[in-house]
Every structure is written in structure tokens, then in C-alpha cells.
């Protein structure tokens, strides 16, 4: 008898409701042969943000109930032919295209950015760095568009430190396309006072026209714990995940 009263007590029901809603939010991480940043993103989302996160193998054909998709970095299919091109033809990317059309936020980090570009979800192309080497270092990034699900917590033109690790991160567009993305304000991040890859206009991250798909070359998941941060420098790269989680909570509530 006591338990029945307890179950109908609104004071207890509300926290259960909130708990269920919190658990309902789910983020998917597509995994390809050669992805290597999938576990880092999983760790950040589950252990730091307490969000349910699934790995999705690249052959999976029907995915549903995901509030966001984060395509991880790495070397999908060994970067054969061109970074990201073979992954761009995989079944999971067809599903990602379908979800993105419905307005689900999609973030591509590093190789994920290359996959999004090769699958024509984002404009442009990513080719070999100007120095021909794999670059792994800390850079300054500038936020140029705060009107996306991944940058809403930033201030306009905010600077922050973030590590990059890429061999093919030189973002290239022809002049007409560059004018178009500038006009539509699709440049989300750019390198500040440095252009490690030789990208046109120092571009480090772009979005699509609808602003729900963002690709970026630097790795925000690698700066989320104090042990990983550079000493004495501001590290607001975590605001990317803060923004995303605030966005999906707002949408699903």
C-alpha cells in the first residue's frame, strides 16, 4: 500500500520523468574500419555529459531515434584513393544524409569532415597539406559563426586553443564557391594568425546552408579533460559539446 502511494506521489514522479527524458537523448557515432577517435568522443559524451551514446557500424542500414550524429576522426578505409571517399559511399552515410535532411545536427571531426565533404553534404574539398606532412600541434581557432547547433555558446570572434592532427586538411574551393559560402555565412571556424594546412581563407570548419551540418578539422574531443589541456591557456573547445547538448535538450523538451 505504501509503495502505491509512493508511485503516485508527484514529488517522486517528476524526477523520474526528468530522468527518462534525460536518458532519451541519444547520440550516434558511425564507426568505419580505421576510425580512431570514436572512443574519445564516446568517453566525452558518456562520462562527462552523461548522454547515451551508441557506436554504429558502417554497414548498418536503418538507424532511428538519434538526436545527433558525430562522425569521428581517423583513417577510414586507410585513406585509400582519397581521404573519406570510400566511407562516403557506405550505407551509414546514406542514413546520415536522410537524418540530416530532417534537421538532425551532424558534426564531422577531422576524417569525419573529409567524409562529409566527399559525400557532398558540405561544400569544398580537402587535399594534402601544403607542407606535405602530417601536422599534430596546438592552434588558435576563431569562431566566425555562432548560429549553429555546435557554436551557440561561443561569442562572435571568440578565440580558443585546440589541437589539430591531420595530413589532408587543406580546405579548397574555387572563387565562386568561396564567394557563395561567405555570402551565406557558412564559414564556422578559421585559424587565427596561422594557416597550418594552407587552407583558402584559413578555413578550419564550415557548415551547410541549413546550418545543421558542421565539419571541422581540429579535435575538440581531445581537450575535454584538465589533464589534456595546455597549462595556463584558455580551453573553451568544450563549448562545442555544451552547445550541442543544450541544443538537443531544447529540441526534445
Partner 1 sequence: MYLSNYTNQAILLKNKEFNVIVTIENKSFINDPEGETIYHDLILKNKYNNIKSVRTAKVLKLIVNAKNPIQATLSVKKMCEDLRIFNPIVSDCQVNIISDE
Could you say which of 37, 95, 168, 219 is catalytic? Answer: 219
Report the site for partner 1 in 68-97 (rule: CB under 8 A). 81-82, 85, 88-89
Could you say which of 95, 118, 168, 221 is catalytic? Answer: 221
Q: What DSSP line would sit under 218-235, residue for residue?
A: S-GGGGSSGGGSPTTS--
Instruction: Rank residues 11 and 183 by Cβ distance to partner 1 and give the closer one.
Output: 183
- 126's CB contacts (< 8 A; 6+ apart) are 83, 84, 113, 114, 117, 168, 169, 170, 171, 172, 217
State the cell numbers at 8: 503516485
36 makes contact with partner 1 (CB under 8 A): no
Part of the chain binding partner 1 (CB under 8 A), chosen from 53-61, 103-111, 129-137, 233-241: 129-137
Q: What angle do CA 101, 70, 120 make, to 5 degrees?
A: 45
User: Would residue 221 show up in a list of annotated catalytic residues for this protein?
Assistant: yes
User: Would residue 110 show up in a list of annotated catalytic residues for this protein?
Assistant: yes
Using DSSP's 3-state secondary structure scheme, residue 14 falls into helix
Please give the C-alpha separations between residue 209 and each of 100, 122, 176, in angstroms, as whole numbers.
12, 9, 15
Q: Least Å distance between CB 18 and partner 1? A: 46
User: Would residue 219 show up in a list of annotated catalytic residues for this protein?
Assistant: yes
From first CA to last CA, the distance across the chain in angstroms is: 33
Identified binder of partner 1 from the candidate list 174, 179, 210, 233, rule CB under 8 A = 174
Q: Least Å distance between CB 132 and partner 1? A: 6
How many angstroms separate the CA atoms of 217 and 114, rounded?
9
Instruction: Rank residues 118 and 221 by Cβ distance to partner 1 and give the closer one.
Output: 118
How many angstroms separate the CA atoms of 211 and 169, rounded?
21
Residue whose grid cell is 557506436: 55
180 makes contact with partner 1 (CB under 8 A): no
Using DSSP's 3-state secondary structure scheme, residue 137 falls into strand
Part of the chain binding partner 1 (CB under 8 A), chosen from 41-49, 120-128, 179-187, 205-213: 120-128
12 makes contact with partner 1 (CB under 8 A): no
Could you say which of 110, 118, 168, 224 is catalytic? Answer: 110
Q: Least Å distance between CB 127 and partner 1? A: 6
Residue closest to 93 by CA, chosen among 119, 68, 122, 64 = 119
Q: Which residues bind partner 1 (CB under 8 A)?
A: 81-82, 85, 88-89, 118, 124-125, 127-128, 130-132, 172-174, 177
Residues annotated as catalytic (active site), given as ranges: 110, 219, 221
Amino acid at each position: 500500500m505504501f509503495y502505491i502511494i509512493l508511485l503516485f506521489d508527484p514529488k517522486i514522479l517528476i524526477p523520474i520523468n526528468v530522468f527518462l527524458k534525460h536518458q532519451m537523448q541519444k547520440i550516434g557515432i558511425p564507426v568505419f574500419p580505421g576510425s580512431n577517435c570514436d572512443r574519445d568522443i564516446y568517453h566525452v559524451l558518456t562520462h562527462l555529459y552523461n548522454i547515451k551514446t551508441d557506436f554504429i557500424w558502417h554497414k548498418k542500414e536503418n538507424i532511428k531515434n538519434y538526436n545527433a550524429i558525430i562522425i569521428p576522426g581517423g583513417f577510414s578505409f586507410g585513406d585509400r584513393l582519397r581521404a573519406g571517399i570510400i566511407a562516403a559511399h557506405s550505407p551509414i552515410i546514406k542514413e546520415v544524409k536522410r537524418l540530416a535532411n530532417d534537421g538532425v545536427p551532424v558534426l564531422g571531426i577531422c576524417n569525419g569532415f573529409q567524409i562529409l565533404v566527399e559525400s557532398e553534404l558540405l561544400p569544398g574539398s580537402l587535399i594534402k597539406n601544403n607542407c606535405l606532412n602530417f601536422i599534430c600541434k596546438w592552434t588558435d581557432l576563431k569562431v566566425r559563426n555562432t548560429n549553429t547547433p555546435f557554436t551557440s555558446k561561443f561569442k562572435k570572434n571568440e578565440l580558443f586553443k585546440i589541437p589539430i592532427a591531420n595530413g589532408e586538411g587543406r580546405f579548397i574551393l574555387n572563387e565562386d564557391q568561396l564567394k557563395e559560402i561567405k555570402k551565406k555565412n557558412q564559414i564556422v571556424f578559421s585559424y587565427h594568425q596561422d594557416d597550418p594546412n594552407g587552407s583558402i581563407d584559413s578555413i578550419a570548419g564550415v557548415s551547410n546552408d541549413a546550418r545543421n551540418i558542421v565539419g571541422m578539422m581540429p579535435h575538440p574531443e581531445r581537450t575535454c579533460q584538465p589533464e589534456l589541456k595546455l597549462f595556463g591557456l584558455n580551453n573553451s573547445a568544450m563549448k562545442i559539446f555544451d552547445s550541442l547538448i543544450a541544443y538537443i535538450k531544447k529540441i526534445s523538451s
